[in-house]
Structure formats: structure tokens, C-alpha cells
Amino acid sequence: MAFSKLAGLILFLAGIFIASYYTAWVVLQLPVLKEYKVQTKEYFLDPILLLQLPALALVLGITLIAAFIFHTEAKIAAAKRAQAQ
């Protein structure tokens, strides 16, 4: 199996795990469930992180995408300069 396919599989499985965990975390933090004394502190992080982690992921994701684009553009520009000489 090629490295890119293996890396894609790992990222795909990590994404499914993170999405499932976050969905369960959000659903179990609903105020209705607090009445039934569902103990979520044993399994999940602090509820304030429900807002902070996605915001951090968004900022980090945009930063990584921008860095990738700038890196790729720099490589293309360097290749064009080398061809022009």
C-alpha cells in the first residue's frame, strides 16, 4: 500500500473517531441530560472546551492550509525562475 493511501486511511479513521467523540460529547452535555445525572466528567473534557477546541481547530486548519499554499507557490516560482535562466 502506498504511503499516501496509508496516510489518507489514518486521517480518515482519525476524523471518524474525532467526529463521533465530539458528537457524543455535545449530546451528553445537553441540559436535559443533566436532570438525569449523567456523569460525563469521567469520560469527556471540560464543557468550556466544546467551543474552544473547534475554534482552535479552525484557526490551526486555516493556518496550515495557507502555509501549504504559500510553500507550493514558492516551489512553483522557484521552478519557473530556474527554467527562465
Judge if 34 and 14 occupy the same domain: yes
**Cα–Cα distance measured from residue 50 to residue 24, given in angstroms and rounded to the nearest whole number:** 11
Query: How many domains is the chain built from?
Result: 2
Judge if 2 and 32 occupy the same domain: yes
Judge if 6 and 39 occupy the same domain: yes
When pLDDT is averaged across residues 16-31 and rounded to a whole number, the result is: 80
Lowest-pLDDT range of 6-10, 33-37, 51-55 = 33-37
**What grid cell was written down for 47?**
464543557
Tell me: pLDDT of 58 over 70: yes
pLDDT bin (cut points 50, 70, 90) of residue 38 is: low
When pLDDT is averaged across residues 37-56 and rounded to a whole number, the result is: 73
Cβ 42 vs Cβ 18: under 8 Å: no
- Which residue range forms the structural domain that includes residue 57? 48-85
Tell me: pLDDT of 36 over 60: no
When pLDDT is averaged across residues 1-22 and rounded to a whole number, the result is: 81
Tell me: pLDDT of 85 over 80: yes
Single pTM value for the model: 0.55
